[in-house]
């Protein structure tokens, strides 16, 4: 969600042009007073930004660098890492059929999330964007699954989806008993069960984002189009969709990053062992199972690096080819 | 699932409104009139809410009821499950841990986030762009990916199995989002206000405390809510850091409880619904801020 807000500012910022970098010290100031002022300013900057930077670098950047370091060692997690194995960990990861499998699952989840949630969210948002009564309560209620923690969602759904659970019971009662199934353990179904739960949990967030995007489309455009005799569908296709584009693309990025690091839901519902046989294990599950749970912290770190590189690459490609127009250099160029 | 229950509930709640809602309608062709929209909206809401209702209502049933009719309603209503959970030391201990972690993380994220965002928004210096990029790049490092090395760092600091070991990383990982939301807020404060404050003799830091803090309140609230809910729901970090039951936060507690009482479904459901309640209450109080914050924070 941060990204949306981020783009807002980018849009706001863009007209001001790219003349940022040179601003700080360009006009030569009356010497002494100004210099003391600048020293004071430096001090303030240091005092204000020091602690956040220390915390951030120490607990976000440094661990990631550390992972790169430990990834070259065979290391059990205690004592100094001495058993240098070069690229062996990485070779093992890339040739491990189990990893190839989780990689495939992760990308499958990524693709299906985009394909299922995207159109659904756009459609629902367009529908709900009309002036209907109770709009605010609708927004709150569709946001509820997003607010609830993955653990609770997982616990609740796994109880409902047991073979003796509520869903099968409900199917029996409405006369669809033939549809009863082992939703969680059947390897043909499990991934679709997972997709259903993911869609349930995250589509509300997508709808809220899209609604926010729709609000920013001026009504005048629709009025003008109507005067020109455009049909409802023409207006949606020629006005709504293109103008909603930035929102859709930002949502896509959030969804992609979320899919690639999916862990909680799968771990709670299937656990590390069952998820393997049910075909729902993800890269993060593999990392935790092979790393922490197996006591191989060197190997786990290497998996983390691979995961990071994959996510980074995907995000980079996405930014290069999809987001190009929306946030030209928003992340790389910073504030001006 | 109790889809039917949810459906009828909300249908009855909203039906009387249906005919009135036409007044200010955007000019849509007649066939896209209200009933269809309401129908879809209600269906969507039912799907969203039904599983949650299943958890809450399940807590009011006995195990026998759940076994014989998994998708039924409480009949009769049983309050002992909730009563037992509310009397248990485990629940309140974990509730307390979650509350401490969430409040400390939120306070930390808001204070540190405001400090660095203020610098990024109101000062001009050479490394500003690099600094912003540093934090923005943090969005690319989700907690899950960094968890293994993070665990090692926390262990080397001797913070394993302590709440501080969860709080500090949460603050660190909360900063990127915070910076990206708050910087535009702080930049939107007009220069004139700052100049006026300077003329009145306020220092830059005085300006920060007297003017910036109150003026950026909407953004701060948005950031604070996101931080609180994120912390309340966090699972993977506590999973790695907290080992002893006494230090568990609620998500770990729910998981432990549901495997410990795997035969006592009703109790698990009661525990689960009580565990999600605080985040839900918090959200419904501040929902305008969250949804509004997404709609474009700057206009506030």
Domain assignments of chain A as residue spans, ordered by start:
90-333
CA distance B167 to chain A (A): 11
**What's phi and psi for B145, nearest 5 deg?**
-65, -35
Query: How confident is the model at residue B105, as a pLDDT?
Result: 93
If asked whether residues B143 and B168 sit together in one domain, one would say yes
If asked whether residues B238 and B261 sit together in one domain, one would say yes
Contact state of A334 with B205 under an 8 Å Cβ cutoff: no
If asked whether residues B146 and B74 sit together in one domain, one would say no
A·B CB contacts under 8 A: 339
Q: Enter the DSSP assignment of A84.
A: B
> Which one of A5, A23, A301 has the shortest CB-CB distance to B180?
A5
A225: exposed, middle or buried (Cβ count in 10 Å: 0-12, 13-18, 19+): middle
If asked whether residues B147 and B266 sit together in one domain, one would say yes
- B276: Cβ contacts below 8 Å, ≥ 6 apart: A148, A149, A152, B52, B55
Tokens of B214: 């109150």
Tell how many helices (H) and how many strands (E) occur in chain B: 15, 0
Query: How confident is the model at residue A327, as a pLDDT?
Result: 54
pLDDT digits (tens, 9 = 90+) for A240-263: 888 888 788 888 888 888 888 888
Last residue of a domain, one of B83, B111, B145: B83
CA distance A188 to chain B (A): 22
Query: How confident is the model at residue B103, as a pLDDT?
Result: 92
If asked whether residues B181 and B68 sit together in one domain, one would say no
Tokens of A90: 């990485």
- Provide the b/e sequence for A273-307 (b: ≥16 CB within 10 Å): eebbebbbbbbbbbbbbbbbeeebbbbbbbbbbbb
CA distance B22 to chain A (A): 7
* A22-36, A95-109, B160-174, B270-284: segment of lowest average pLDDT: A22-36
Angle, helices B265-294 vs B80-87, to 10°: value is: 80
Q: Which domain holds residue B124?
A: 88-299
Contact state of A138 with B151 under an 8 Å Cβ cutoff: no
Question: In this structure, is the dihedral angle defined by the CA atoms of residues A298, A301, A306 and A307, taken in order, positive or negative?
Answer: positive
Q: Enter the DSSP assignment of B21.
A: G
Segment A12-24 mean pLDDT: 39
- CB atoms inside a 10 Å sphere around CB B146: 27
Q: Mean pLDDT, chain B, as a whole number? A: 77
Model pTM?
A: 0.77
Tokens of A165: 């659970």
Chain B interface disruption, residue of A24, A64, A155, most B CBs within 10 A: A155
- All residues of chain B having their beta carbon less than 8 Å from the beta carbon of residue A149 are 232-235, 250-251, 275-276, 279
A232: cis peptide before it, omega within 30°? no
**C-alpha distances in Å from residue B112, one per residue of B95, B97, B176:** 25, 22, 11
Between B100 and B177, the more confident residue is: B100
pLDDT digits (tens, 9 = 90+) for A115-124: 999 999 998 8
Query: How confident is the model at residue B182, as a pLDDT?
Result: 81
- All residues of chain A having their beta carbon less than 8 Å from the beta carbon of residue B21 are 131-133
Provide the number of structural domains found in chain B. 2
Place of tokens 């949502």: A251
Q: Enter the DSSP assignment of A60.
A: I
Q: What is the C-alpha to C-alpha distance for residues B104 and B100, in angstroms, rounded to an integer?
A: 6
Tokens of A87: 């690229």
Provide the 3-class DSSP secondary structure of residue B185: helix
Query: How confident is the model at residue B23, as a pLDDT?
Result: 40
Query: How confident is the model at residue A111, as a pLDDT?
Result: 92
Contact state of B180 with A3 under an 8 Å Cβ cutoff: yes
pLDDT digits (tens, 9 = 90+) for A104-143: 988 999 999 999 999 999 988 888 877 777 777 887 888 8
> Which one of B34, B140, B234 has the shortest CB-CB distance to A311?
B140
User: Does the pLDDT of residue A199 top 60, yes or no?
Assistant: yes
If asked whether residues B106 and B72 sit together in one domain, one would say no
Cβ distance B173 to A60 under 8 Å? yes
pLDDT digits (tens, 9 = 90+) for A278-299: 778 888 888 888 877 777 888 8
CA distance A283 to chain B (A): 10
Segment B82-108 mean pLDDT: 88
Extract the runs of DSSP E, i.e. beta strands, from A59-201. Answer: none
Contact state of A128 with B131 under an 8 Å Cβ cutoff: no
Q: What is the C-alpha to C-alpha distance for residues A4 and B12, in angstroms, rounded to an integer?
A: 36
If asked whether residues B73 and B100 sit together in one domain, one would say no
Could you tell me the CATH number of the domain that includes residue B147? 1.10.3720.10
Question: In this structure, is the dihedral angle defined by the CA atoms of residues B204, B207, B212 and B213, taken in order, positive or negative?
Answer: positive
Last residue of a domain, one of B65, B83, B101: B83
Confidence of residue B18 (pLDDT cuts 50, 70, 90): very low
Q: What is the C-alpha to C-alpha distance for residues B254 and B244, in angstroms, rounded to an integer?
A: 14
* A221-230, B14-23, B167-176: segment of lowest average pLDDT: B14-23
Contact state of A63 with B119 under an 8 Å Cβ cutoff: no
pLDDT digits (tens, 9 = 90+) for B180-205: 888 877 777 777 777 787 787 777 77
B177: cis peptide before it, omega within 30°? no
Confidence of residue B292 (pLDDT cuts 50, 70, 90): low
Provide the 3-class DSSP secondary structure of residue A29: coil
What ipTM, to 2 d.p.?
0.76
Nearest CA in chain A to B6: A141
Tokens of B266: 């009703």
Query: How confident is the model at residue A326, as a pLDDT?
Result: 58
Q: What is the C-alpha to C-alpha distance for residues B280 and B56, in angstroms, rounded to an integer?
A: 12
Q: What is the C-alpha to C-alpha distance for residues B179 and A280, in angstroms, rounded to an integer?
A: 35
Chain B interface disruption, residue of A166, A296, A323, most B CBs within 10 A: A166
If asked whether residues B14 and B56 sit together in one domain, one would say yes
If asked whether residues B141 and B236 sit together in one domain, one would say yes
Query: How confident is the model at residue A29, as a pLDDT?
Result: 44
- A46: Cβ contacts below 8 Å, ≥ 6 apart: none
Chain A interface disruption, residue of B45, B105, B149, B182, most A CBs within 10 A: B149
> Which one of B1, B41, B45 has the shortest CB-CB distance to A167?
B1
Single out the residue of B16, B62, B57, B55 nearest to residue B38, CA to CA.
B16
- B176: Cβ contacts below 8 Å, ≥ 6 apart: A2, A56, B135, B136, B137, B138, B139
**What's phi and psi for A132, nearest 5 deg?**
-115, 160
Contact state of B140 with A315 under an 8 Å Cβ cutoff: yes
Q: Is A175 left (phi over 0), alpha (psi -120 to 50) or beta?
A: left
Query: How confident is the model at residue B293, as a pLDDT?
Result: 57
Q: What is the C-alpha to C-alpha distance for residues A156 and A284, in angstroms, rounded to an integer?
A: 22
Q: What is the C-alpha to C-alpha distance for residues A200 and A120, in angstroms, rounded to an integer?
A: 11
CA distance B178 to chain A (A): 8
Between B73 and A265, the more confident residue is: A265
Q: What is the C-alpha to C-alpha distance for residues B219 and B63, in angstroms, rounded to an integer?
A: 46
If asked whether residues B185 and B264 sit together in one domain, one would say yes
Q: What is the CA radius of gyration of chain A?
A: 25
- All residues of chain B having their beta carbon less than 8 Å from the beta carbon of residue A153 are 51
Provide the 3-class DSSP secondary structure of residue A131: coil
- Which fold does the domain A90-333 belong to in CATH? MetI-like fold (1.10.3720)
Contact state of B168 with A59 under an 8 Å Cβ cutoff: yes
Segment A300-313 mean pLDDT: 87
Q: What is the C-alpha to C-alpha distance for residues B174 and B116, in angstroms, rounded to an integer?
A: 13
Q: Mean pLDDT, chain A, as a whole number? A: 77
If asked whether residues B119 and B215 sit together in one domain, one would say yes
Q: Enter the DSSP assignment of A73.
A: B
If asked whether residues B92 and B79 sit together in one domain, one would say no
* A309-313, B19-23, B97-101, B219-223: segment of lowest average pLDDT: B19-23
- All residues of chain B having their beta carbon less than 8 Å from the beta carbon of residue A8 are 184, 296-298
- All residues of chain A having their beta carbon less than 8 Å from the beta carbon of residue B124 are 23-24
pLDDT digits (tens, 9 = 90+) for A54-84: 988 888 888 888 888 888 877 776 667 777 7
Q: What is the C-alpha to C-alpha distance for residues A86 and A5, in angstroms, rounded to an integer?
A: 42
Tokens of A163: 């073979």
**C-alpha distances in Å from residue A83, one per residue of A86, A299, B148, B186, B225:** 9, 12, 18, 50, 45
Segment B38-46 mean pLDDT: 86
- All residues of chain B having their beta carbon less than 8 Å from the beta carbon of residue A6 are 136, 180
Q: What is the C-alpha to C-alpha distance for residues A191 and A282, in angstroms, rounded to an integer?
A: 11
- All residues of chain A having their beta carbon less than 8 Å from the beta carbon of residue B293 are 1, 5
Place of tokens 């601003």: A23
Last residue of a domain, one of B20, B50, B83: B83
- All residues of chain A having their beta carbon less than 8 Å from the beta carbon of residue B136 are 6, 330-331, 334
Contact state of A157 with B51 under an 8 Å Cβ cutoff: yes
Cβ distance B109 to B267 under 8 Å? no
Contact state of A52 with B126 under an 8 Å Cβ cutoff: no
- CB atoms inside a 10 Å sphere around CB A5: 26
């Amino acid at each position: 969600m941060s990204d949306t807000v981020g783009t807002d500012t980018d849009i706001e910022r863009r007209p001001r042009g790219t003349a940022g970098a040179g601003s700080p010290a360009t006009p030569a100031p009356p010497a002494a007073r100004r210099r003391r002022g600048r020293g004071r300013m430096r001090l303030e900057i240091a005092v204000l930004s020091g602690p956040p930077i220390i915390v951030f670098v120490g607990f976000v950047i440094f661990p990631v660098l550390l992972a790169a370091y430990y990834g070259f060692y065979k290391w059990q997690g205690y004592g100094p890492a001495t058993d240098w194995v070069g690229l062996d960990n990485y070779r093992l990861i890339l040739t491990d059929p189990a990893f190839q499998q989780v990689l495939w699952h992760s990308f499958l989840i990524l693709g299906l999330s985009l394909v299922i949630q995207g159109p659904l969210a756009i459609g629902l948002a367009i529908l709900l964007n009309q002036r209907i009564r109770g709009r605010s309560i609708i927004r709150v209620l569709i946001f509820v699954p997003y607010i609830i923690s993955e653990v609770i969602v997982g616990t609740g759904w796994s109880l409902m989806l047991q073979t003796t659970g509520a869903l099968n019971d409900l199917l029996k009662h409405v006369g669809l008993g033939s549809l009863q199934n082992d939703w969680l353990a059947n390897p043909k179904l499990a991934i679709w069960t997972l997709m259903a739960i993911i869609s349930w949990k995250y589509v509300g967030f997508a709808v809220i984002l899209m609604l926010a995007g729709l609000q920013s489309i001026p009504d005048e455009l629709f009025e003008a189009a109507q005067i020109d005799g455009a049909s409802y569908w023409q207006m949606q296709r020629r006005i709504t969709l293109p103008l909603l584009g930035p929102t859709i693309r930002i949502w896509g990025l959030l969804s992609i990053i979320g899919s690639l690091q999916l862990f909680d839901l799968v771990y709670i519902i299937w656990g590390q062992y069952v998820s393997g046989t049910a075909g729902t294990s993800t890269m993060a599950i593999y990392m935790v199972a092979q790393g922490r749970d197996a006591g191989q912290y060197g190997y786990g770190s290497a998996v983390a690096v691979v995961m990071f590189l994959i996510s980074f690459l995907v995000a980079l490609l996405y930014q290069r080819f999809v987001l190009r127009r929306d946030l030209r250099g928003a992340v790389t160029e910073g504030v001006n | 699932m109790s889809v039917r229950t949810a459906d009828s509930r909300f249908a009855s709640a909203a039906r009387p409104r249906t005919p009135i809602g036409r007044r200010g309608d955007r000019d849509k062709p007649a066939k896209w009139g209200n009933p269809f929209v309401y129908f879809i909206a209600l269906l969507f809401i039912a799907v969203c809410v039904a599983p949650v209702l299943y958890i809450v209502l399940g807590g009011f049933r006995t195990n026998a009821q759940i076994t014989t009719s998994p998708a039924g309603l409480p009949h009769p209503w049983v309050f002992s499950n909730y009563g037992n959970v509310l009397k248990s030391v485990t629940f309140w201990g974990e509730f307390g841990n979650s509350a401490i972690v969430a409040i400390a993380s939120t306070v930390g994220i808001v204070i540190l986030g405001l400090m660095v965002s203020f610098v990024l928004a109101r000062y001009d210096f050479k490394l500003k762009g690099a600094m912003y990029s540093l934090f923005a790049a943090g969005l690319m490092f989700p907690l899950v990916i960094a968890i293994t090395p993070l665990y090692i760092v926390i262990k080397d600091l001797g913070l394993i199995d302590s709440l501080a070991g969860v709080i500090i990383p949460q603050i660190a990982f909360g900063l990127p989002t915070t910076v990206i939301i708050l910087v535009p807020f702080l930049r939107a404060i007009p220069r004139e206000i700052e100049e006026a404050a300077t003329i009145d003799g306020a220092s830059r830091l005085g300006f920060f405390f007297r003017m910036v803090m109150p003026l950026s309140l909407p953004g701060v609230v948005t950031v604070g809510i996101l931080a609180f809910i994120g912390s309340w729901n966090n699972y993977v970090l506590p999973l790695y850091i907290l080992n002893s039951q006494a230090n568990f936060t609620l998500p770990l507690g729910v998981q432990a409880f549901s495997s410990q009482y795997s035969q006592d479904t009703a109790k698990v459901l009661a525990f689960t619904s009580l565990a999600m309640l605080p985040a839900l209450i918090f959200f419904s109080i501040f929902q305008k801020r969250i949804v509004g914050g997404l709609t474009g924070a700057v206009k506030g």
